[in-house]
Structure 1
Amino acid sequence: MGPISPALPQLPRRAIGIDVGGTGIKGGIVNLQKGSLTGKRFRIPTPRPATPQAVAGVIGEILDELLSREKAPAAEDLTVGVTVPGIVIDNVVLSAANIDESWLDCDTTQLLNNLPGHISTLNDADAAGLAEARYGAGANKPGTILTVTLGTGVGSALVHDGVLVPNSELGHLEFEGEKPAERKVSASARERLDMPWDEYGETLRRFLAHVERIQPVSKFIIGGGISKRSEDFLPFVSGLRAEVVPAQLTNNAGIVGAALYAAERATLKTPKVHET
């Protein structure tokens, strides 16, 4: 594992991560030492409309199922991380570009206060990037790593020496006259514009070069569902100062990162007991 917070040795063995997506909400029990799922993940389709109350109900169903499993975390150690596709500060959702507008200014602490455990909420790309930096393509690599998730939009997660700098939202930059950049760079944009893979790779290369001028990094990790096809477009992403590599944790990254984030947040807030 890469550079880590001093809290990590004190973490419980397992935590739960729940990843809220546009089509499905999925959760799993995460082994925090290995960064892998303990048992199968559990998925329920995202409700329509995906209001906070409707999504909270699904989160509760997923949590109930996971806690019924033999290897579920103990109640006294239970931490739960939940991702949201928006800016999240102190568990309050401050943007709703890719989710239902009713999430704007939603305090998820209040929304989920009837659920068990210590619950923390974070941006979905931040969760994936944290997982990749600690357990995946960025493991054991110091410096600044930027994970770029390519899907319906473009998410970004900035991690420096294993510590997350949240809510970078670089997919919302202006890029070649397009604002936000994700209208031109996302996986959905490739399909909408019917871009061949080589053209898409070149577009992504120019976008990453643009990002490098604003935020120099030592490594780009390319995630999102399209990363499964990385051999089709990453060969055309060349000539950058930073290394560019595909993500390793694929669809489990959000779950793993959410669980890790929540466990660390809970541990950092728990006073240490000094024996005498």
Structure 2
Amino acid sequence: MAKKHHKGLGFGIDIGGSGIKGAPVEPDTGRFADERLRIPTPHPATPDAVADVVGQVLDHFSWDGRFGCTFPAVVQHGVVRTAANVDDRWIGVDAHDLFRSKTGRKALVVNDADAAGLAEVRFGAAHDHSGVVLVSTLGTGIGSALVVGGALWPNAELGHLEIDGYDAESRAADSARERDGLDWEEWAQRLTRYYSRVEALLWPDLIVVGGGVSKKAAKWLPHVHIRTPIVPAALLNDAGIIGAALLAAGH
């Protein structure tokens, strides 16, 4: 396959619980420069097994330069600090060193919600917003990205706020809606409680809601009653790849 790494492109990889996806990205537009590749996430998702798949994605595109990579955990300067939804063996791993040794390329590893949040501010629902934007992803848990004046505040774990004696995501994530058999309006009441607490602490100018359930926003978003404007995400499953590529390319 012809080399796809040439000046002007970035490369992003999005590591999820079910799939590892990657594509070259045009940093000026956020568009993919080639069709993305998805490979199922190995089980168990150990560091070495995941790094091998990351290498396969890079090899598929003959990508030989620096790349960005999301990870579903707190990532502090490349070191994985939590493992809520991934293999415990990731805790304490320097993912930058791991990916470089396994793939031969430099990596910038970031929290998955952070990457998606940056992409939504650059190219999505919060395009070029200059204020305080919270991008909130509703899925198995609640991911959160805080972007202030276009700059990312990393690892804002706002899904773990304690509200009414509960870890917020245990009550308000999409998984909680399914577990408790809530209809859309009942779930929206829990989201109202959650986002009301967040806005009282941070006073955001805009909240963008992502995750798979954002495709069904018309069913529940009108029932979320808060002060802050709240809108569905625009980039959906591509946001992580785009944001990772932007961060790695220095954009």
**TM-score normalised according to structure 1 size:** 0.86
CA distance in 2, matches of 1:81, 1:23: 19
Instruction: Report whether the alignment pairs 1:243 with 2:229.
Output: yes
Structure 2: gaps spanning 5 or more residues: 1-6
Question: Secondary structure of the equivalent of 1:102?
Answer: helix
Instruction: Report whether the alignment pairs 1:82 with 2:69.
Output: yes
Question: Secondary structure of the equivalent of 1:112?
Answer: helix
Question: Secondary structure of the equivalent of 2:193?
Answer: helix
Report what 1:229 is aligned to: 216
Report what 1:94 is aligned to: 81
Question: Secondary structure of the equivalent of 2:165?
Answer: coil
CA distance in 1, matches of 2:211, 2:61: 24
Deviation at 1:205, TM superposition (A): 1.4
Report what 2:164 is aligned to: 176
Q: 2:29 aligns with which of 34, 37, 48?
A: 34
Q: 1:103 aligns with which of 70, 80, 90?
A: 90
Q: Assess if the C-alpha contact under 8 Å between 1:118 and 1:262 holds in 2.
A: no
**TM-score normalised according to structure 2 size:** 0.94
RMSD: 1.3
Q: 2:109 aligns with which of 121, 130, 139?
A: 121
Deviation at 1:116, TM superposition (A): 4.1
Q: 1:135 aligns with which of 100, 117, 123?
A: 123
Deviation at 1:241, TM superposition (A): 2.3
CA distance in 2, matches of 1:157, 1:145: 8
Question: Secondary structure of the equivalent of 1:164?
Answer: strand
CA distance in 1, matches of 2:228, 2:189: 16
- Letter aligned with residue 153 of structure 2: V
Q: Assess if the C-alpha contact under 8 Å between 2:71 and 2:110 holds in 1.
A: yes
Where do 4+ consecutive residues of structure 1 move more than 4 Å? none
Q: Assess if the C-alpha contact under 8 Å between 1:84 and 1:124 holds in 2.
A: yes
Q: Percent identity?
A: 46
Structure 1: gaps spanning 5 or more residues: 1-11, 266-276
Report what 2:4 is aligned to: none
CA distance in 2, matches of 1:158, 1:128: 11
Q: How many residues align?
A: 244
- Letter aligned with residue 66 of structure 2: T
Instruction: Report whether the alignment pairs 1:58 with 2:53.
Output: yes
CA distance in 1, matches of 2:128, 2:121: 8
Question: Secondary structure of the equivalent of 2:100?
Answer: coil
Report what 1:271 is aligned to: none
CA distance in 1, matches of 2:202, 2:152: 15
Q: Assess if the C-alpha contact under 8 Å between 2:121 and 2:150 holds in 1.
A: yes
